[in-house]
C-alpha cells in the first residue's frame, strides 16, 4: 500500500475526512468530533490503522481513542481496518 500522509480535511464543523490511499486503494474515513469525544466512521482497507491513528492523534492528541467505530457497510474499503483498530484501542484500555 502506498504511503499516505494523514492530512485530515475539515469538511464541516467538527467533521474531518482522511484519505487513506491512492487510486485502487483509495478510501476515506471520517472522524467526527462530539465534545468531549469523537467517533470514527468507516475504517478503510486493512492495514490503514496507522494512517487513521496518526490522523486522530493530530486532531485529538496522543493516545486518543474514539467513543465508537461506525461502519456504513461491510465492503473491505469501508471496514477493512475495523478489527485491527478495535483490538489496538481495546488493548490501550486494558
- Predicted confidence at residue 91, as pLDDT, reads 56
pLDDT surpassing 50 at residue 38: yes
Domain assignment present for 43: yes
- CATH code of residue 24: 3.60.15.10
Domain assignment present for 1: no
Domain assignment present for 67: yes
- Predicted confidence at residue 46, as pLDDT, reads 86
Domain assignment present for 38: yes
In the sheet that holds 37-41, the strands lie side by side as 9-12, 15-19, 28-34, 37-41, 68-70
Please give the Cα distance from 74 to 90 (Å, whole number). Answer: 21
Tally of structural domains, the chain: 1
Its domain, for residue 79, covers 9-93
Instruction: Give the pLDDT confidence of 39-92 residue by residue, as tens digits.
Output: 999 998 888 888 999 999 999 999 999 999 999 988 878 888 888 888 777 655
Amino acid at each position: 500500500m502506498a504511503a499516505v500522509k494523514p492530512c485530515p480535511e475539515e469538511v464541516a464543523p467538527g467533521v474531518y475526512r482522511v484519505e487513506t490511499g491512492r487510486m485502487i486503494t483509495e478510501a476515506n474515513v471520517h472522524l467526527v468530533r462530539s465534545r468531549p469525544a469523537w467517533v470514527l466512521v468507516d475504517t478503510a482497507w486493512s492495514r490503514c490503522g496507522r494512517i487513521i491513528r496518526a490522523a486522530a492523534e493530530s486532531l485529538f492528541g496522543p493516545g486518543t481513542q474514539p467513543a465508537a467505530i461506525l461502519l456504513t457497510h461491510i465492503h473491505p474499503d469501508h471496514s477493512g481496518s475495523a478489527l485491527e483498530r478495535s483490538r489496538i484501542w481495546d488493548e490501550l484500555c486494558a
